[in-house]
Amino acid sequence: MIFTKIKRTVKSGAISFWRNGSVSLASVLILTVTLTVITMVLFSGVVLSSTLETIKNKVDIDIYFVKGATEDSILSFANEVKKNPDILDVKYTSRDQAYQNFKERHKDEEATIQALTEIGDNPLPASINVKAKDPNKYDSIVTFLKDKETALGNNNIIDKINYTEKNQQAIGSLNRIINASNKLGILIAIFFAIVSILITFNTIRLAIYIFREEVSVMRLVGASETYIRAPFVTVGILYGLVSAIVTTIILLPITHYAGNWTEKLGTGMNLFDYYRANMLMITAALVVGGTMLGAISSFLAIKKYLKV
C-alpha cells in the first residue's frame, strides 16, 4: 500500500506541475533567481579568498649574497634558515641561474642584453627566496635573518636582505580588507538567502492559495492531511529540481563571461574553470538546496488550508 501511495503522490504532483503550467513557471523562475543569486554571492567569496591567497603568495624575502660566497656556504645558510618553523619554503638561485633568468626575462630588450655582455663578468649575485607560512610572520622572520647575519660575524656572506615593512603593511591592510569583505559577503549572502527564501515561500504560498478551495474539498471527501499535503510537497520538490537544473545551465554563460574578467583582475583564478571543476558538487548542492526550499515552502504554505 505504501508503494501505491508513493506512486499516486508522485503521479498526482507531476500532473499538477504540468497542468498548472503558468503557476509552475512563475515558481520555477523565482526559485531559479534565488538559487542563482545565492550561488553568485558564494562565488564572490571564493574569488575574494583566491585574490587574498594570490597576493599573499606574492610576498617573500630575497636574500642576496656577496659575490665571493661559495655555493656550499650559501646552501648551509639556507638549511639553517629552513629550520625556522615559520618558514614554508626556501629556494636557492645560483649566480649562473640568475644570469640565465635575467637573459630570459630581457630577451626582447637588445640593449640590456648587450650591456650585460659588455660587462663580461656575471654581475648578478646568488640569492635565496624565503616564503613564510603566514604572511603576518614576515617581521619576525626578518629579525631572525638579521640575527643570523650578525651571528656570522666576519664570515658574513649576506649582501642584502630585500624586504620592506611597507610590503608588510600593505599586506596587512589588504588582509583586513579582504577579511572584512568576506564577512560582508557572508552577511550579504545570508541577507539575500533570507529575502529569496521569503519570496520563494510567498510565491509557493500564492500558488497554493489558488488551490485552497480544492484543499477544502479534499478534506471533505475524507482525505488525510498527509494525503493532501504530499502532492503539494512533490510539486514543491519538482519546482526545486527544475530550478536547480536551470540554474546549473544559466551559470555556465555567467561564469564563462565572469571567468575572463576574474582572470584579468589578477584574482589568481578563472571562475569558469572553478565552476567546471566543481560542477558536479555545485549541481548536487543546488538540487539539494532547491528541493529542500521548494518542499519546505510547500509544506508550510499548505498548513494554513488544512484546518477544515
Partner 1 sequence: MLKFTDVTKLYHTGDTALKDINIHIKAKEFVSIIGHSGAGKTTLLKLILAEEGPTSGTVTFEDVDIHKLKRSNINKYRRRVGTVFQDFRLLPDKTAYENVAFAMEAAGMDDEAILNDVPHALDLVGLKHKMHSFPDELSGGEKQRVAIARAIVNQPDMIIADEPTGNLDPVNTYEIIQLLKKVNDLGTTILLTTHNVGVIDNLGRRVITIKDGQVALDSHEGKYIL
> Where along the sequence are the contacts to partner 1 (CB under 8 A)?
1, 4, 8, 15-16, 19-20, 213-214, 216-225, 227, 308
Residue 59 has what DSSP assignment? -
Closest Cα to residue 138, out of 102, 112, 101, 175? 175
Nearer to partner 1, 231 or 268 (CB): 231
Query: In whole angstroms, what is the distance from residue 48 CA to residue 181 CA?
Result: 8
In angstroms, what is the C-alpha Rg of the chain?
Answer: 31
Which of residues 96 and 213 has its CB atom nearest to partner 1 in the complex?
Answer: 213
| Residue 252 or 308 having the CB closest to partner 1 | 308
From the CB of 291, what's the least distance to partner 1, in Å? 22
CB of 23 to partner 1, least distance (A): 10
Question: Is the Cβ–Cβ distance between 182 and 45 less than 8 Å?
Answer: yes
The rounded distance, in Å, linking the Cα atoms of 156 and 174 is: 35
Q: What minimum distance in Å lies between the beta carbon of 206 and partner 1?
A: 16
- The residue (of 12 and 73) whose beta carbon lies closer to partner 1 is 12
Provide the minimum distance between the beta carbon of 212 and partner 1 in the complex, in angstroms, as a whole number.
12
Nearer to partner 1, 92 or 209 (CB): 209
Query: Rounded to whole angstroms, how far apart are CA atoms 301 and 85?
Result: 58
For partner 1, the closer CB: 52 or 215: 215
Contact between 308 and 216 (Cβ < 8 Å): yes
**Shortest Å, Cβ 8 to partner 1:** 6
Q: What share of the chain is helix, strand, coil (3-state, %, to 5)?
A: 80, 5, 15
- Residue 200 near residue 78 (C-beta atoms within 8 A): no
Q: Report which of 299, 179, 170 is spatially closest to residue 237, judged by C-alpha positions.
A: 299
| Residue 32 beta carbon to partner 1: minimum distance, rounded to whole angstroms | 24
